[in-house]
Amino acid sequence: MLYHSQQQRLVTFAMFTLAVLGTAVTGRAKDQAPSTDPAQVFYVSPAGDDAAPGTEANPFATILRAREAVRRLKYTDQYPAEGVTVFLKQGRYELDEPLNLTPADSGLAGGPVVYASAPGELATLCGGSEISGWKQHGRGLWLAPTDGEFRQLYVNGKRATHARSPNDGKQFYLVSKWHKESKTLEIPWDVAKDLEDVSQLEMLLQNEWCQSILRVKSVERQEENQDLATVQLRNPGQDMIFSRLAPWILDGNAFRWENSLGLLDVPGEWYLDQKKHVVYYRPREGEDMTQARITAPRMESLIHIAGTVRRPVEHVVFRDLAFEETNWHRPSRLGLIEGQAGFFNYTATADNFQLFGRPPAAVELTGCKHIRFERNQFRNLGATALDLLFATNACEVVGNRFTDIAGTAIRHGTFSPPEYDHHYVFNPKDEREICTNDRIANNYITNAAADYLGNLAIACGYVRGARIEHNQIENLPYTAISLGWGWGPKPNAMLGNKIRYNHISDVVKQLHDGAAIYTLAPQLGTEIAFNYMADIQPSNWVTADKACGVFFDEQSDHIRCHDNVMSNIARPYLLHAIGNNNQMENDVVLDPDSDESETTRSFPHLGGKRAGTPAFSLKVMREPTPAVEEIISQAGLEPAYQDLLEQAQP
C-alpha cells in the first residue's frame, strides 16, 4: 500500500454502542492488569508447527494460527470465563501479513485474551527479513542483491546510517536562496561538487517545525556565478514546497544530502540502489560480514486491531513482547513534505489550504475498548510505533519502552481526515466516536522522530479524558507531547485531558517552534501539572529560536497549567494567538544564575489574539524548595517501572 488514508480507515466504522459520555473520568486507573488464571493456554514457537495442537510440548509456529485457535474456542462456546493466554517462545517471528484482530477476537472483562512472551523470554514480532548473499565490492564496501524497498538497515540489531553528507548528524549545509518563480534553489557549489550521481539523491530539508525529504532532479553549477549551484527538485515535492504558505522556506534553511553511492564514505553507512536492486554497506570496526545478521523492513504494519463503532474489539492484552522492523514506502516513492506533528502534505496552497496524510503505524487500533499494551518493547520501527486512531475507549499503554522510532512513538485520536483541510474541527454528534478515557502512562520514550524530525513522542488530536502521566521522554528533535488540533476557536471534541507527572528532557534539539508540551485550540478542562522539563535550548541550525517548556499555540484556551518545574530552558513559555480563559500558576523556573533567590518573570504574547488575557508570570528560583524537589522526584517513571531506564536490548 502506498500510503495509509484515515478516510479508508473510517469508512468501515458504524456507530457503536458504548454508554454516552457525560464528562471525562477523573479517577486514575491502576497500572496493574487484572490477574488471570486462564483455563486455556496456547504456545507458539519459531520451531513449532501450525499443524500441532499448540501445547508447550508441541507449539504452533505462528501467532496467526494461535489467533485461529482462540477464535475456535469462541465459535464452539468453549471460551473459558478466566480467559485465554497465548505464550510466544523466545525468538524472532517474521510476519508475512499483519495480525488482524476483529470483534471475533475479543476477550471478556474478567477473562481477556492475552498475547505474551513466555515467562522469562522475549518474543519479537517483526516486519523485516534478513538480507543474504553479501560479497566484497572494493573500497571497503560490501554489497548484496535485494528486491526490497526500505529506508532503514540494521546490522546485528543496530541501526546503520543512511549514506549522507555531512557525515556528522549534527552538522548541515545551508540554502543560499530560494527562487519561487523558477521553483529552484541555490546552494554553495562547494557542497555539491563532490556529488557523483544525483539520480536517486535526496535533500533532507529542515524548515521551521518540520522536515521535508525532497527528491533531487538535477544539481548544476551556475555559469554566471561559479560559487553557486542550482538545484531542481522532482514532483510532487517541488510544487508543494514552493506553493505552501507554512511552514516557510527561508534562505538559510539547513539541509543535508542522503541516498547516493558517492556519499557512502564512513563505516556504518549504507545505500540502496533501487535501479540495480543492490544494497551497499561499509562495515563498522569489528563487524564480520560473513557472520553478521543484516535485516531490512518489509511490512508497514504488524498488528491491526479493528472493530466497528457498533461492535468494538474488547479485552485484549499484549504483554512482554517486542515489535520491530516496519517500513514506510511513501518517502522513497514520492518524497515527503511534512506538515505538523509528523503528518505529511497531500497538497498545499499559498492560501494555507493543506490536506494531510497520516503515516502508517506498527500497531493500529480503531473501534476498541479495554485494549492494553503493557511492558512491551517498540524498537527499530520505520514510521509511527503505536496509533490509537478512532473510537478507542479505556485503552491503556503502560510501562512500554519506545526506542529508535523513525516517526512518532504514540499517536492518539482523530486529527484532520485527508479529505479535509487541516483546520478541520472534529466534534461529532455521537461522542462515542471520540477516543475517550485512554491512558498513556509510565512509558520510556527515547530517540523517536529519528528519521522524520517533525514527529513527536506523544501526539494527541481531538481526544477526551486522556491521561498522559509519569512518562519519561528524552532525546527528540522536536516536541515531546502535543495535545490539540485545528488552529481555530470553534468548540471541538476535546474535554478533560490531563498531562501530569511527566519527566521531559533534551527535546526540540533540531527544529524549532516546539516545546516539551505543546497545545492547540480550545480544550475545556485540560490540566498540565507536576511535570518536570529540563535541558531545552535552541538549535544552531534553525532560522528562529522558539524552543520552550510549554507552548500555548493558536487558540489554545480553557487550559490550567500549574506546579510545573523547568530547568535549563531558554524560554519557559511561548504564548501565541491564544484565548482568554487559560490559567497559569505556581510554575517554577530554576535558574542558578538568578540575581535574586526568588523573583517573578512575565511572558507576554508573541502576537495574534489577546482577548484581554494578561501576560503570564512564573516564579524564578535560584535553588529548589522542598516542594519543588518533591515535584521533580515524582515526575517520570514510578518506582515499579524504573527498570525501563536500564533495560537492554537483547
The helix/strand/coil state of 61 is coil
- Is pLDDT above 60 for 613? no
Q: With respect to residue 49, please indicate whether it lies within any of the assigned structural domains.
A: no
Beta bridge partners of 460: 412, 483
Q: To which residue does cell 517462545 refer? A: 89
In contact, 300 and 383? CB cutoff 8 Å: yes
Peptide bond just before 247 cis, omega within 30 deg: yes
Other Cβ atoms closer than 10 A to 347:
17
Q: With respect to residue 248, please indicate whether it lies within any of the assigned structural domains.
A: yes
Q: Measure the CA–CA gap between 319 and 336, rounded to whole angstroms.
A: 34
Do 286 and 385 lie in one domain? The reply is no
471-510, pLDDT tens digit by residue? 999 999 999 999 999 999 999 999 999 999 999 999 999 9
β 177-179/278-281 pair status: unpaired
Residue 29 or residue 184, greater confidence: 184
- Among residues 258, 277, 296, the one where a domain terminates is 296
In contact, 536 and 560? CB cutoff 8 Å: no
Peptide bond just before 166 cis, omega within 30 deg: yes
- Among residues 272, 296, 320, the one where a domain terminates is 296
240-262, pLDDT tens digit by residue? 999 999 999 999 999 999 999 99
β 202-207/254-258 pair status: antiparallel
* Distance in angstroms between the alpha carbons of the first and the last residue of the chain: 32
Rg (CA), the chain: 25
- Is pLDDT above 50 for 33? no
41-90, pLDDT tens digit by residue? 999 999 999 999 999 999 999 999 999 999 999 999 999 999 999 999 99
Q: With respect to residue 340, please indicate whether it lies within any of the assigned structural domains.
A: no
In contact, 554 and 608? CB cutoff 8 Å: yes
Do 536 and 418 lie in one domain? The reply is yes
Q: With respect to residue 385, please indicate whether it lies within any of the assigned structural domains.
A: yes
Do 429 and 556 lie in one domain? The reply is yes
Q: Measure the CA–CA gap between 33 and 255, rounded to whole angstroms.
A: 46
The helix/strand/coil state of 630 is helix
β 472-474/435-436 pair status: unpaired
Domain with 163, as residue range(s), is 129-296
Do 270 and 397 lie in one domain? The reply is no
Q: With respect to residue 570, please indicate whether it lies within any of the assigned structural domains.
A: yes
Q: With respect to residue 54, please indicate whether it lies within any of the assigned structural domains.
A: no
CA distances from 306 to 153, 169, 258, 324, 367 (A): 30, 39, 37, 21, 6
Q: What are phi and psi of 52, to 5 degrees?
A: -80, 170
Do 427 and 563 lie in one domain? The reply is yes
Q: How confident is the model at residue 546 (pLDDT cuts 50, 70, 90)?
A: confident
Q: What are phi and psi of 406, to 5 degrees?
A: -65, -35
95-133, pLDDT tens digit by residue? 999 999 999 999 999 999 999 999 999 999 999 999 999
Do 263 and 395 lie in one domain? The reply is no
Q: Which three cell numbers stand for residue 99?
A: 495480525
Query: What DSSP designation does 19 have?
Result: P
Strand locations in 222-302 (E): 228-233, 254-258, 269-273, 278-281, 294-297
Do 280 and 409 lie in one domain? The reply is no
Q: What is the pTM of this model?
A: 0.93
Do 530 and 401 lie in one domain? The reply is yes
pLDDT of residue 615: 60
Do 648 and 517 lie in one domain? The reply is yes
Q: With respect to residue 600, please indicate whether it lies within any of the assigned structural domains.
A: no
Do 290 and 390 lie in one domain? The reply is no
- Among residues 296, 326, 341, the one where a domain terminates is 296
- The total domain count for the chain is 2
Query: What DSSP designation does 641 have?
Result: G
